[in-house]
A and B are shown apart, each in its own frame.
Chain A
């Protein structure tokens, strides 16, 4: 069965620290997609990134970067110089035949 594991339930950092959120997945599909979403206290999920299994290039978008490694089935997310506005729950998700399987989420708290 497909599965997504976010082992870190809660992370607390001080502003300007770098922080990495881990995501490990299991799938038998050769073609699949991985996503990261942010859920601020308001509740709405905000899309951050989508990657397909053929594209292992790391990606950087401003303070955000993603490290995709098929060899370890991981798709980790790093926030550089964290800010209080980054406080949220972050979800990693894996595609499964037209649907998404979500991890349990990592709650990030950035303190001033």
Chain B
């Protein structure tokens, strides 16, 4: 079955520690995204990547880093610079349609099950 997997389901971080969240997809999607969700709030975009070896900052990139070495994988590292990392992290992927005649097509994003990050 095609889908998006995220691991681990729960992750604990100690003070000053970097942790990496995994996101893998076998949908053959070009674009991948990382979102953060805080209790009672909507999703906020951290980073996104439309093609391998390229990625862009979202609205709340500070304290996070990503890489996109393979089409299937888009790991997110929460660095020690992120002072309030406790949240639910969701990864998503979509097909990518390039800009055409000034319009930005938006393909449907499909989401993984999420990783809940807690600080010890």
**A contact residues vs B (CB 8 Å cutoff):** 4, 9, 29-33, 35, 37, 42-47, 50, 91, 95-100, 102-105
Per-position binary interface string of chain B over residues 77-120, scored 1 when its CB falls under 8 Å from any chain A CB and 0 otherwise: 00000000000101010000001001111101111111010000
Q: A104 to B41, Cβ gap below 8 A?
A: yes
Number of residues from B at the complex interface, CB < 8 A:
28
Contact of B64 with A by CB under 8 A: no
In contact, B42 and A103 (Cβ under 8 angstroms): yes
B114 with A105: CB separation less than 8 A: no
Say whether, besides A43-B113, A44-B114, A102 and B108 are in contact (CB < 8 Å): no
Chain A residues contacting B74 (CB-CB under 8 Å) are: none
Known: A45-B90, A104-B42. Is A98-B104 also a contact (CB below 8 A)? yes
> Closest Cβ of chain B: how far from A30's Cβ, in Å?
8
Please report the C-alpha to C-alpha distance between residue A31 and residue B97 in the assembled complex, in whole angstroms. Answer: 14
